[in-house]
Amino acid sequence: MRITTWNVNSIKQRLPHLLAFLDEARPDVVCLQELKCQDEAFPRAEIENAGYAVEALGQKAYNGVALLVRKPLAIAPDSVRRGLPGDPADEQARYIEALISGETEQPVRVASIYLPNGNPVDSPKYPYKLAFMERLRLHARALMEDEIPVVLAGDYNVIPEPADAADPEAWRSDALFLPASRAAFRAILAEGYTDGLRACDPRDGLYTFWDYQAGSWQRNFGIRIDHLLLSPQACDRLVSASVQKHLRGLDKPSDHVPVTVELSAG
């Protein structure tokens, strides 16, 4: 089972790139973030015509997450969770989760996550980020209780380590790299989760985001903020992990690129 996470930074603008990627790479599950559209505007027909079932949680102009599942895999009935537990007042479209399985594939619970950016740090946005991460930690712990493999995939807006940035000093005071953000990320890992990409490739220079400004892509001034965290049962099935960096060089690309893990059938 190949599971990809990709912040597309507007599904409408990036639809041709997404459809080409689905045809080229044929991932089994795609976790999308930053759709920037409401559910009724999501290009469901085009994606279903490409052979994928769709579950989406949209929001006008901001946020938005989705799960695309390639047939013959299927989403288990009544398994879709829209929204992260822990704050009934939170109306931001940042979390969707489902149980996915097939005739030859053991079930895997997959979530698409668009974690808050948190900037500026002296605004309510940063406490919201940390609170969201604590809710995610608690939910991540609860998901492991039934011992079904779990993959928490998405744009975490966290640079875990200095090696995950071309210039760590440039991010020192940014919400993505503050000590509290990195500690909250480690706390999720401490629940028993593994960073899928780092488990397969410990090299420096693995980035998933390049800003549109200041020639960041041309200078490879990137950061790694898109992650797939695997529960122990999922990690036992981990075969490989990779970054589809070439997609950043397309015309009018997203500022993020896909990241993929492959799990054995189990």
256 is catalytic: yes
**Residue 44 amino acid letter:** R
User: Is 251 annotated as belonging to a binding site?
Assistant: no
Q: Can you tell me whether residue 141 is helix, strand or coil?
A: helix
CB 100 within 8 A of CB 110: yes
d(CA 255, CA 247): 9
Residue in 17, 28, 52, 114 annotated catalytic? 114
User: Is 256 annotated as belonging to a binding site?
Assistant: yes
Could you count the other beta carbons within 10 Å of the beta carbon of residue 249?
Answer: 11
122 is catalytic: no
Question: Strand 259-263 relative to strand 81-82: parallel, antiparallel, unpaired?
Answer: unpaired
User: Is 34 annotated as belonging to a binding site?
Assistant: yes
Q: Can you tell me whether residue 10 is helix, strand or coil?
A: coil
Residue in 95, 126, 155, 226 annotated catalytic? 155
Question: Strand 74-75 relative to strand 29-33: parallel, antiparallel, unpaired?
Answer: unpaired
User: Is 227 annotated as belonging to a binding site?
Assistant: no
Q: Can you tell me whether residue 228 is helix, strand or coil?
A: strand
User: Is 255 annotated as belonging to a binding site?
Assistant: yes
User: Is 191 annotated as belonging to a binding site?
Assistant: no
227 is catalytic: no
Binding residues: 7, 34, 155, 157, 255-256
Residues forming the active site: 114, 155, 256
Binding residues for Mg(2+): 7, 34, 155, 157, 255-256
